[in-house]
Amino acid sequence: MPASVLTAQGLTKSYPTLSGAIPVLRSVDIEVTAGESVSIRGESGSGKTTLLYCLAGLERPDGGKLLWEGRDVGKFGADELALARGQCMGFVFQSYCLAPELNAYDNVLLARRVVGRVRPEDCSRAHALLEKVGLGERQTHVPAKLSGGEAQRAAVARAMLNRPRLLLADEPTGNLDERTAEDVISLLLRLCAEEGTALVLVTHNAAFAARTKRAIRLEHGALVS
């Protein structure tokens, strides 16, 4: 039985408003094992991004339990949580979110800088990842000089630099055309499979969701499948 990378039990989350709290997540249970790919689909406002952020520790759920490799995240302090997230997780966002002041190579290496000292093997890995994602010739280009697809591929390389146990992707193809989106999803799935990284992919695209090992659906904050 593969080890559990992430376990969420009974996660609930609501946002306070003047007219009362709006529930966004209703007792969500989810488990992701090592190397597994899971897609989360749902309509806009179903709570997909909130669920993703809760799983990543970027938002504290109001209730429930979250375990990262068996460790209770609820007991982590803020610094410990941030460090654990940086070392064990990778992120790919819809809008690439690359630092505009850094070139592609430095953007990838930023993932290592934030969690610790940059070692020579980190530099080598950054170069290698950029080659793998097809940006070998564009490493010194700043994001403004990259196309959407190229920028997203650089983001994928950044997410993979620290050999994360889990990669969380929030609509990574949302801003891309069909062909480029296909390339990025294929790249994501291939790299995760190669590195043994578990993947949680939030997407609207049914075809992409079907390519993951398990697909779950969120409706009004509750899992339906």
Partner 1 sequence: MPWPVYLALKHLFPTGRRASFFTVVSILGVTLGVAVLLVVQSVMNGFANEYAINLIRAQGHIQIRSGALIEDPEPIVKLAKSVPGVVSAEPYALGQIMLEFNNRPAFPAARAIAWPAQYPRTAQEKAMAPHADTTFPSALSIDVNRADQQPLEQTLVVGKLDDLDDNSILLGYGLAADLGVHVGDTVKVYTPLMLNRLESKEVLLPLSLTVAGIYQTGWTVADDNTIVVTLRKMQDLYGLDGEVHGVEVRLDNNDLDHSYDVAAALNAKLAPLNAERAAKGDTAPLRALTWLEVNSDLMQILGVEKAVMFYIMIFIVVVASFSIASSLVTSVVRKTREIGVLGALGARPKHIAAVFCLQGFFIGLVGVCLGVALAFLLLECRQPIIEKFVDRRLLLEFYKFLSFPVEYRAEDFIKIILFTLIITTLAGMLPAWRAARLKPAECLRYE
SS3 for 42?
strand
Question: Whose Cβ is closer to partner 1: residue 161's or residue 191's?
Answer: 161
- What number of other Cβ atoms are within 10 A of residue 189's Cβ? 17
Question: Whose Cβ is closer to partner 1: residue 34's or residue 84's?
Answer: 84
Residues of this chain that interact with partner 1 (CB under 8 A) are 49, 53, 56, 58-59, 78-79, 82-87, 91, 93, 95, 97, 99-103, 106, 110-111, 113-115, 140, 142
Question: Whose Cβ is closer to partner 1: residue 2's or residue 63's?
Answer: 63
Q: What whole-number distance in Å separates Cα of residue 129 and Cα of residue 124? A: 9
State the nearest-atom distance from the C-beta of 103 to partner 1, in Å: 5
Question: Whose Cβ is closer to partner 1: residue 52's or residue 215's?
Answer: 52
State the nearest-atom distance from the C-beta of 79 to partner 1, in Å: 5
State the nearest-atom distance from the C-beta of 179 to partner 1, in Å: 26
SS3 for 198?
strand
State the nearest-atom distance from the C-beta of 2 to partner 1, in Å: 25
Q: What whole-number distance in Å separates Cα of residue 124 and Cα of residue 127? A: 5
State the nearest-atom distance from the C-beta of 86 to partner 1, in Å: 2
Q: Among 170, 171, 169, which residue's Cα sits nearest to residue 160?
A: 169
Question: Whose Cβ is closer to partner 1: residue 115's or residue 222's?
Answer: 115
Q: What whole-number distance in Å separates Cα of residue 49 and Cα of residue 24? A: 10
Q: Among 156, 167, 165, 171, which residue's Cα sits nearest to residue 202?
A: 171
